[in-house]
């Protein structure tokens, strides 16, 4: 499957690397967890539950974040790297940019 990541989701992942400031190595661990999450989603895209329409959420272990994604044909669109305690529905506007 092809992976398409929304530019804002990339920014969110990089911004969440602030963990590095609080504890050396933690930011790198977060980014590694995001990478593992995307690999697992590509391998098993239907495994995680739907949360809105065709969008699903993968909960990132050890961190209060989830990857929000949708599947269309052979493409997985990652809409957000969402902090689970902040404005939970902010990414919904991105669904208009998602795959047809």
Of 98 and 52, the one with more pLDDT: 52
What's the token pair of residue 79? 């809409």
Q: Is the pLDDT of residue 84 over 70?
A: yes
Q: Is the pLDDT of residue 81 over 90?
A: yes
What's the token pair of residue 71? 């599947």
pLDDT digit string, tens, across residues 49-77: 999 888 999 999 999 999 999 998 899 99
For residues 31 and 12, give the distance between their C-alpha atoms in angstroms, rounded to a whole number: 11
Q: Are 12 and 80 in contact (CB under 8 A)?
A: yes
For residues 55 and 42, give the distance between their C-alpha atoms in angstroms, rounded to a whole number: 14
Superfamily for domain range 2-96? RelE-like (3.30.2310.20)
What pLDDT shows up at residue 48?
97
Q: Is the pLDDT of residue 98 over 60?
A: no
pLDDT digit string, tens, across residues 8-56: 999 988 887 778 888 889 989 999 999 999 999 999 999 999 998 889 9
- Residues near 6 by beta carbon (within 8 Å), at least 6 away in sequence: 77, 78, 79, 80, 94, 97
CA dihedral 55, 100, 80, 63 (to 10 degrees): 40
């Amino acid at each position: 499957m092809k992976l398409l990541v929304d530019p804002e989701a990339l920014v969110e992942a990089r911004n969440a690397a602030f963990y590095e400031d609080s504890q050396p190595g933690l930011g790198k661990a977060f980014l590694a967890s995001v990478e593992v999450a995307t690999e697992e989603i590509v391998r098993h895209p239907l495994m995680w539950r739907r949360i809105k329409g065709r969008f699903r959420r993968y909960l990132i272990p050890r961190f209060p974040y989830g990857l929000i994604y949708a599947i269309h044909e052979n493409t997985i669109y990652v809409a957000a790297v969402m902090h689970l305690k902040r404005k939970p529905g902010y990414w919904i506007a991105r669904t208009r940019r998602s795959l047809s």
